[in-house]
A and B are shown apart, each in its own frame.
Chain A
Amino acid sequence: MIAIALLLFMAASAFWLVRLRNLFAVVMLSGVYSLFAAALYLVMDAVDVAFTEAAVGAGISTVLMLSTLALTSRTEKSHNKLSVMPLLLVFITGGVLVYGTFDMPRYGDINAPIHQHVANHYIEKSAAEVGPPNIVTSILASYRGFDTLGETAVVFTAAIGVLAILGRVKGQGMSTSRVAYRRKEDVEEENKEDDKAVSDKKETTS
């Protein structure tokens, strides 16, 4: 019951998101959407996922989007032309996705494939094999250590990517000693590149 109410809230905020043209409100509303998602995960007993969703989806990503907004414009360009083709495509994709859910096992079904595979092993043996009472931690850190290492590498790569594109503007990201040694021409060239990067981003956002 609570889950259905939360899903309705999520759907409502998603529709509202599409209608809005003020990007500041859009960012705030997507944070609200994430918070509803976190509440939904909590209702479904996925505490760790809810925790992550609340921290990343509702918290950090909202702030990151806001700081991006500070660099670009705050309102979306309005275009009132109704395009039929994309609408049709969206409806077809949505219909296929909904059709796909008919084949999924019911929530909590004990015979679902997901409960027949390794889950039983984790629940029964993880206390003896790994130790921590929180099975999620055992799975993430020990049974699936490779996965987690990959994820950490992805986060690392993302940060490196952002640094490579945005990191060196106005000597912001550099220690002052190194800034002093940079040649004037280099600085000018970098500024040019950065301006280009910013304007590119503007184009993609609007």
Chain B
Amino acid sequence: MIFKAPLLRVVTKIIVPPIILFALYVQFHGDFGPGGGFQAGVIMAAAFILYGLVYGVSTARQAITADVTRVILALGVLLFGGTGIVTMLMGAEFLDYSVLGKTPLAGQHLGILLIEFGVGMTVAGAMITIFFAFAGHGKDGNIALDQENEGGGND
């Protein structure tokens, strides 16, 4: 375990679900407000990284295993590219979503939703993968940030 302080642990437990919810909001509300797949992916990754920081990498890895992050990582790009292939198969150009729906606008909407989701998956997978790859190198598979507590961190 990295942070044994109960306050941090409890606050983390409370705050992780809202972060994930906010990531989903940013993901699917990107058409109407600021945000989109990239930001959503980063926020989603932040939730797991926060959990990993406070509870330790091995505990966080039980919540989201290495295999799962890798599948998500690859599936995102595949969904993006696959959408392009589907539009090609339906007779339009690569990534021209207009053919996906009954009307061009509906098609565009569906296509944007799909590829934004793909971007979100890949970004979230990449950020989680990179963080755990780095953090997994510390002692006992944990990131050795607890030294900061003792050192005061302000020297």
Contact = CB atoms under 8 A, between A and B. Distances in A.
Contact of A145 (B36, B66, B115, B130): B115
Given A71-B138, A130-B108, A172-B136, A52 B38 contact: yes
B73 A159 contact: yes
Nearest to B125: A159
Contacts, number: 167
B150 interface: no
A63 B33 CA distance: 27
B42 interface: yes
Contacts of B74: 156
Report, as a range, how many residues of chain A touch the other chain.
35 or more
A162 B138 CA distance: 16
B49 to A, nearest CB: 6
B84 A51 contact: no
B122 A145 contact: no
Report, as a range, how many residues of chain B touch the other chain.
35 or more
For A51, A70, A141, A153, the residue with the greatest tally of chain B CB atoms inside 10 Å of its CB is A141
Interface in B72-98: 73-74, 76-77, 80-81, 84, 94-95, 97
A136 B133 CA distance: 33
A152 B134 contact: no
Contacts of B112: 130-132, 137-138, 141-142
A136 B112 CA distance: 12
Nearest to B154: A25
Interface stretch (A53-61, A84-92, A103-111, A113-121): A53-61
B66 A64 contact: no
Nearest to B35: A51
B40 to A, nearest CB: 9
Nearest to B112: A141
A149 interface: yes
Contacts of A133: 31-32
A101 interface: no
B136 A173 contact: yes
Q: Which 6 A-B pairs have the closest CB atoms?
A: A159-B126, A132-B31, A145-B95, A172-B136, A47-B34, A166-B133
25 contacts: A25-B154, A51-B26, A60-B42, A60-B46, A63-B53, A67-B134, A67-B145, A70-B143, A130-B105, A131-B109, A134-B31, A141-B115, A145-B84, A146-B94, A152-B80, A153-B77, A155-B126, A156-B74, A158-B126, A162-B134, A167-B129, A170-B141, A172-B132, A172-B137, A174-B66
Given A130-B108, A136-B34, 10 more contacts: A22-B155, A24-B148, A70-B135, A132-B32, A152-B80, A155-B122, A162-B129, A172-B61, A172-B66, A174-B66
